[in-house]
């Protein structure tokens, strides 16, 4: 009898964990726009810094993207209780964003900024954040993004600067813009299914 109760209790716990991960994937998909925003911000900053030869391109663009993200997150999260999973994923991305901002700002103003180092750092940190989120959420698409970002780190570490920038732009498109669009499509489909279910 105890074995049956334990088995039933275990099954309920597994179902709860699976539902929490599914909710985490849904919440992440709900914020797909932020991946697209940051991907576009990276492309704008890259273009501005290369063509305009400006040291302000990255700080200005990243600060603007952070402000827009903060406003968007506060509006979307208003009145919605945070789950343990959503807090964990938000914590990973928030910590990564703060660390990468401080590191790159310090390297830039300290005079130690280098294109290959930049791409290697961005790739490693975004690979870490995507991998942590993928592990928490068990989301294969985000595992793929992690691999793409980590590949850009390897290219930047061993290849010439031109190869590093190509890897960075490819990872930005695949790991941010394409993933964000994919997440928004997933969210849109879920919204339509819920609309049909409630009709």
pLDDT for 198 equals 42
Report pLDDT for 161.
Answer: 93
Among the listed residues 124, 114, 129, 128, the one whose alpha carbon sits nearest the alpha carbon of residue 165: 114
What pLDDT, on the 0 to 100 scale, is given for residue 32?
82
> What pLDDT does 136 receive?
87
pLDDT of residue 158: 96
- Rounded CA-CA distance 62/192 in Å is 33
Rounded to whole angstroms, how far apart are CA atoms 12 and 18? 10
End-to-end CA distance of the chain: 43
Cβ-count burial 164-175 (b if 16+ within 10 Å, e if not): bbebbeebbebb
Question: Which parts of the chain sit beneath pLDDT 50?
Answer: 1-2, 196-199
pLDDT digits (tens, 9 = 90+) for 71-118: 987 887 666 666 777 788 888 988 998 898 888 778 777 777 788 998
Provide the pLDDT for residue 94. Answer: 87
Q: What pLDDT is stored for residue 77 in this prediction?
A: 65
Task: Give me the pLDDT at residue 177, please.
Answer: 95
Burial of 84 (C-beta count, 10 Å sphere; 0-12/13-18/19+): exposed
Secondary structure class of 80 (helix, strand, coil):
coil
Map out the domains of the chain as residue ranges. 33-198
């Amino acid at each position: 009898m105890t074995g049956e109760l334990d088995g039933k209790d275990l099954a309920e716990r597994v179902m709860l964990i699976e539902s929490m991960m599914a909710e985490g994937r849904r919440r992440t998909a709900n914020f797909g726009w932020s991946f697209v925003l940051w991907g576009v911000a990276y492309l704008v900053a890259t273009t501005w810094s290369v063509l305009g030869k400006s040291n302000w391109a990255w700080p200005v663009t990243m600060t603007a993207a952070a402000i827009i993200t903060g406003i968007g997150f506060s509006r979307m999260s208003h009145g919605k209780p945070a789950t343990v999973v959503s807090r964990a994923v938000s914590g990973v991305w928030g910590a990564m964003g703060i660390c990468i901002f401080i590191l790159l700002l310090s390297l830039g103003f300290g005079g130690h900024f280098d294109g290959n180092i930049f791409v290697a750092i961005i790739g490693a940190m975004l690979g870490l954040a995507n991998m942590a989120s993928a592990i928490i959420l068990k989301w294969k698409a985000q595992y793929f993004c992690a691999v793409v970002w980590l590949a850009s780190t390897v290219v930047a570490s061993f290849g010439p600067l031109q190869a590093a920038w190509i890897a960075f732009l490819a990872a930005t498109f695949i790991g941010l813009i394409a993933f964000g669009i994919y997440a928004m499509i997933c969210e849109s489909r879920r919204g339509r299914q819920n609309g049909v279910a409630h009709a």
